[in-house]
Amino acid sequence: MGLARGAAACGLSLAGCLNVDTPSTNVVVDNQYPPSAARPLVVYEAHFQAITLDASTPIAPGGSSGPIPTIPASDNTAYVVLAPGWEPDAGAPASFLVLQSRSGFGVHLGDTLHIPVDDATFAGNCVAGWPLTQSQADFITKIVFPDTFAGVHYDALTCTATPVGSE
């Protein structure tokens, strides 16, 4: 009888019982690399906890993603694939850089987390002198972004990707 009364009170619809004031929790990826670089570092893909920003929404240097809905989290690692010198209208990127955040990020219910993508926040840029270990790179390329690196071996020490079998 209690369920029937509750349904009647909500107008026979569960949608009427939802709290429309539920705060939204979001992530914004900020590409902090300079836009004037000779080979601009474009954010090709990004992953943080429950969100993945894919290649259909690249972020140019100096740009940001829109807010991406997520769930609250604490101390989670972020991963990024950069495409150096890539022009999104020019086809597939010629090369990639794989990055891992140096520390975890957290976001509280109702907040927006900004993840700054740069060499101070992320490791993995060989040119900056911050390569990943091979095990870190393997995790990122095989587990986090397996489609992007299918049939490719990424060498963490040189930040180069080569087709499997041509090494």
- Decide which of 7 and 21 is more confident: 21
> Would you put residue 129 in left (φ > 0), alpha (ψ -120 to 50) or beta?
left
- What confidence category does residue 164 fall into, taking pLDDT thresholds of 50, 70 and 90? confident
* pTM given for the model: 0.84
- Decide which of 8 and 37 is more confident: 37
Q: What is the largest CA-CA distance in the chain?
A: 70
Q: What are the residues whose beta carbons fall under 8 Å from the beta carbon of 135, sequence distance 6 or more? A: none
Asked if residues 28 and 66 have their Cβ atoms less than 8 Å apart, the reply is yes
Of 71, 127, 68, 65, residue with least CA distance to 99: 127
CB count in 10 Å sphere of residue 83 = 23
User: Which pLDDT value is given to residue 10?
Assistant: 43
List pLDDT tens digits, range 105-118.
Answer: 999 999 999 999 99
